[in-house]
Amino acid sequence: MKSHFRQVALIGKYHAAVSGSAAGSARPALDDIAQFLHSEGCDVVVERETAATVGITGYTTLDLPAIGAQCDLVLVVGGDGTMLGIGRQLAEFGVPLIGINQGRLGFITDIPLDQYRATLTPMLRGEYEEDHRSLMHARVMRDGRCVFDALAMNDVVVNRGATSGMVELKVEVDGHFVANQRADGLIVASPTGSTAYALSAGGPLLHPSTPGWVLVPIAPHTLSNRPIVLPDSSEIAIELVSGRDASANFDMQSLASLLKGDRITVRRSQHRVRFLHPRGWSYFDTLRLKLHWNEGN
């Protein structure tokens, strides 16, 4: 059978491969996957920076916008952090992504590297589950001007400075005042991000199909400040009332320094990320595996 996907792009964890040893360890896996895709009848493209850093030759190379515009499928080899960055950049193109886990947890890169051949073979023939994930569009507003604009798949986090005390944050939802919170920070997480920092801070798990965000305070001064689930049709605004050296993080991959009076607005992006999973994939299977539920039973 021919592959369901004609042109397939391969992207590696090139940001981690800054040392020669890291690049060297990534190359055999990427070479092997590229050869496998070729044997399955796919026209293989390697992301340009991946190819240059890891040293793969013999394949067409494209940058990310060109991959989004031209390719039918993208394979991301790395961990969840790699997938977060690639997913944000390719969401506007609607190209589906498959994650091959070369990291640790692997909530969204769910195919183990040592099982990729057996798992990908039926997927390339069209046997897969499709899973859409919402993105957050966040902006930092200062004196009525946007000074920072970013997408996030996991979370938007307002944090206190490393050496300063708590921050005070004014929270609004759709223009309605919610509360002034004194805490170490505040997390706005998507369902995808509900298993990340928000979970560590005591937030609930949200199923990926839930059209909502979770608002989770980090070490709040008042213990009655609890996590709350909000519809993702809402716009959340967080204003820095007081606190030195505060910052806003977007998927922990981009950062904006905040000044008193800055407002961080979060709304649902018009773009969503498309993930493909093996046939029979279940979110609950992922939770059991990654969170070690039922161990010892």
- Nearest-10 crossing angle of helices 20-39, 116-124: 40
Catalytic, 232? Answer no
Q: Which of 80, 110, 155, 262 is catalytic?
A: 80
Q: In which residue are the tokens 């790395």 written?
A: 78
Tokens read off for 237: 């605004």
Tokens read off for 132: 């859409």
Q: Within 10 Å of residue 113's Cβ, how many Cβ atoms?
A: 16
Which parts of the chain fold into alpha helices (H)?
Answer: 20-39, 48-54, 64-70, 80-90, 116-124, 197-200, 283-291
Contacts of 16 (CB under 8 A, 6+ apart): 22, 78, 82
The C-alpha atoms of residue 165 and residue 234 are separated, in whole angstroms, by 30
DSSP 142-170: ETTEEEEEEEESSEEEEE--TTS--EEEE
The C-alpha atoms of residue 294 and residue 289 are separated, in whole angstroms, by 9
Contacts of 200 (CB under 8 A, 6+ apart): none
| Burial (CB count within 10 angstroms: exposed 0-12, middle 13-18, buried 19+), residue 194 | buried
SS3 assignment, position 84: helix
| Burial (CB count within 10 angstroms: exposed 0-12, middle 13-18, buried 19+), residue 146 | exposed
Catalytic residue set? 80
